[in-house]
Amino acid sequence: MARFSLPLLLLAALGAPLAAQVALPGVAVPRAGSVLGEVGDLTGQTLDRTARQARDLARSRLQRIDRLVRSNRSSIERDARGEPARRGELLLIDAGADALRTARGAGYRILETVELAELGFSVTRLQVPTGRDLDEAEEHLSALIPEAAFAPDNLHFPAGKTPALAITSAVSRSAPGGVAVGMIDGAPGKMVAVTGMRGFAAGAPYPSNHGSAVASLLASEHGGPIRVADVYGTDKAGGNALAIARGLGWLVGEGSRVVTISLVGPKNPVLERAIAAARRRGVVVVAAVGNDGPAAPPAYPASYDGVVAVTAVDGKRRALIEAGRALHLDYAAPGADIRAINAKGKRIRVRGTSFATPLVAARLARALQKGGDWREAIDREAVDLGRKGVDPVFGRGLVCGDCRGH
């Protein structure tokens, strides 16, 4: 269903037969020039307002990152691109013995090597030498071992993050058969039923309102198994690339055919490789475009090749003004005027692309359960919004348009 802009609607009215216009007593018919001038002014004002909102969202993102880094200097610092990452650590991908020997000789300490067997590669955590900032260490290691593939351990953030609450018991409940869906986020509270859960951060699993809301929305539309990888726990530097890669590996190994990720961060070679490996295993990854507005950098993991990127609309099917962007966009789903369950088990209103993403993941799992091409099935359901056909605001259309959560 296409939407028409205000200028188009007014032009349509001006193009109607004159009898139709003068049939309304007491209504003066304005000259076309004056109406178009007013429309132009209104359109300009709307564009200016939208541009200001986009700039404000982008500025807010930078301020939020700055506050995070300044208040957690012992665990977080900026990488060479200015993005937040785990302090004093670099990640080497599939490092050989010679590379590790060279790094050790230059003062880098090997903390551990993580074998991501399900994804077919390993990651070695290196501690940066004392007195060297992360951005300096990136430049130094690149010159020291030019053939090495490495990355900072970048942080990823949930939209609308809320305070976590103390857990009282483990969550592990059975679910009916069907396509297994994995979720990478914070842990849900005990009121949200999941099939299994595992932590990949200090203090995990530890329930969060964001993780609870995402899991509850997923469960509201998906009757099959749900497994959760908690990549936050109580870690100030939680949501890092290695934690997400480890969580993804576990979910793939447990048989998840769909994985939903309502987190946003910068491009990272470790996570990019992990997602590519999961896709080769036949797993469909669904990710949110974030809530930092259209002026923010492209969102990852939504922007990685083959990831199903999801944006959000409100109850009137309008795109959320704060919706971020990705290098591609697949679908929209309700992300406002819906309800979810928080960590205390209470129904709450939620807003953001984070909450649209599990709805698309659930629909995708349903399509996989029925067999055939899931893309064709989702496309048949999707309601065309905005410009006819695929567009950069709504992607291929609105999925789960009647979903309202709990």
Q: Tens digits of per-residue pLDDT, 322-371? A: 999 999 999 999 999 999 999 999 999 999 999 999 999 999 999 999 99
Q: Is 196 helix (H, G, I), strand (E, B) or coil?
A: strand
pLDDT at 62: 82
172 within 8 A of 197, measured Cβ to Cβ: yes
Burial of 167 (0-12, 13-18, 19+ CB in 10 A): middle
Question: pLDDT tens-digit profile of 370-379?
Answer: 998 999 999 9
The pTM of the full predicted model, rounded to 2 decimals, is 0.85
Distance CA 174, CA 177 (A): 9
Q: Is 154 helix (H, G, I), strand (E, B) or coil?
A: strand
Please give the C-alpha separations between residue 355 and each of 65, 187, 249, in angstroms, as whole numbers: 22, 15, 23
Q: Which residues pair with 309 in a beta bridge?
A: 287
Q: Where are the domains of the chain?
A: 76-153, 157-381
Here the tokens at position 267 are: 């491009």
C-alpha count within 13 angstroms, C-beta hemisphere, residue 306: 16
Pairing relationship of beta strands 258-261 and 284-288 according to DSSP bridges: parallel
226 within 8 A of 194, measured Cβ to Cβ: yes
Please give the C-alpha separations between residue 352 and each of 52, 335, 342, 357, in angstroms, as whole numbers: 19, 5, 15, 9
Q: What is the DSSP string of 366-391?
A: HHHHH-S-HHHHHHHHPBP-SSSSSB
12 within 8 A of 20, measured Cβ to Cβ: no
> Pick from 322, 320, 378: which is nearest to 58 by CA?
322
CATH code that applies to domain 76-153: 3.30.70.240
Distance CA 192, CA 214 (A): 10
Distance CA 104, CA 90 (A): 13
Here the tokens at position 181 are: 């869906």
Active-site amino acid positions: 185, 210, 354
Distance CA 42, CA 46 (A): 6
pLDDT at 52: 80
Q: Count, in order, helices (H) and strands (E) of the chain.
A: 10, 16
Superfamily per CATH, domain 157-381: Peptidase S8/S53 domain (3.40.50.200)
Q: Go through the chain and tell me how many residues it has.
A: 406
Query: Residue 26: what residue type?
Result: G
> Pick from 234, 264, 350, 311: which is nearest to 61 by CA?
264
363 within 8 A of 381, measured Cβ to Cβ: yes
Question: In the chain, which stretches have pLDDT less than 70?
Answer: 1-47, 159-176
C-alpha count within 13 angstroms, C-beta hemisphere, residue 41: 5
